Amino acid sequence: MPTIVRIFTDSAAAEAARLAVLSTGLARERVALSHQADEAGALCGNFLCGDYEPGGEIAETYERKFQNVVIGGRFLLTIEAEPSEVDAAEAALHSAGGRAVDDLGPER
């Protein structure tokens, strides 16, 4: 069974693509939308940047550090389609945007 994968950076676009694919008649259990979060990155995640403030912590330290938090990551839309359903699913995804995993690698 062929697998179609699209990557989105926007949750609304990913959800719109999921709904477009479902409107073709594919079964809901064969269309999955997941999120891959990028929390703090490798350096911050391993405590190489921290909360230490010379002179001690004050309450506003955390507020200042976290006031502009941006949730990064990707939304991954995975579709398991029968060979006869691939064209309809691809057509539904055509205007939805997203990036095909196959297009991200080096050209052959």
20 lies in some domain: yes
15-57 residue pLDDT tens = 999 999 999 999 999 999 998 765 555 555 555 555 555 555 5
pLDDT for 99: 85
Q: Is residue 56 part of a domain?
A: no
CATH number for position 75: 3.30.70
Q: How many structural domains does the chain have?
A: 1
pLDDT digits over 86-99, tens only? 999 999 998 888 88
Residue-level pLDDT at 101: 75
In a domain, 59, yes or no: no
Predicted local confidence at residue 1, as pLDDT? 86
In a domain, 54, yes or no: no
> The whole model's pTM is what?
0.65
Higher pLDDT, 46 or 14: 14
- Answer yes or no: is 57 within a domain: no
Task: Tell me the two tokens of residue 44.
Answer: 């911050």
Residue 107, in any domain of the structure: no
Show the domain range for 42: 3-49+64-102
